[in-house]
């Protein structure tokens, strides 16, 4: 199985760059982050997650994860949270 490029990202812009089509609607933590400007093609939900603390940083490590993603052809990612694969 190939690695999932949408699995985790340290920077939000890195993750949203995959969904820059004008037909994409992106939600961050269940709030509209980027509205579509063309007919609907895909909807993406991204969640802010926090991992283990880093000894070099203050507090837990923050990362972003696609937790739900569907498009005209069906669901691509579904039911994924901050924990798990």
Q: How many CB atoms lie within 10 A of CB 63?
A: 18
Q: Is residue 63 in some structural domain?
A: yes
pTM of the full predicted structure?
Answer: 0.78
The tally of domains found in the chain comes to 1
> Mean per-residue pLDDT for 51-68?
76
Residue pair 47/81 in contact by the 8 Å Cβ criterion: yes
Q: Which two tokens stand for residue 60?
A: 């837990």
pLDDT of amino acid 60: 76
Residue 82 lies in a domain: no
Tell me the pLDDT band of 6, cut-offs 50, 70 and 90. Answer: low
Is a pLDDT exceeding 50 seen at residue 50?
A: yes
The pLDDT-based confidence of 79 (bands split at 50, 70, 90) is confident
More confident residue, 58 or 77: 77
Range of the domain at 72: 12-77
**Does 83 fall in a domain?**
no
With respect to residue 72, please indicate whether it lies within any of the assigned structural domains: yes
Is 4 contained in some domain? no
Q: CB burial class (10 A; 0-12, 13-18, 19+) of residue 23? A: middle
Cα–Cα distance measured from residue 37 to residue 34, given in angstroms and rounded to the nearest whole number: 9
Model confidence at 46: pLDDT above 50:
yes
């Amino acid at each position: 199985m190939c690695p999932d490029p949408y699995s985790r990202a340290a920077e939000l812009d890195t993750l949203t760059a995959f969904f820059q089509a004008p037909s994409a609607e992106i939600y961050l933590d269940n709030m509209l982050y980027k509205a579509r400007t063309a007919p609907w093609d895909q909807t993406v939900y991204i969640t802010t997650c926090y991992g283990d603390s880093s000894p070099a940083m203050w507090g837990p490590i923050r990362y972003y994860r696609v937790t739900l993603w569907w498009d005209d052809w069906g669901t691509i990612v579904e039911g994924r949270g901050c924990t798990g694969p």
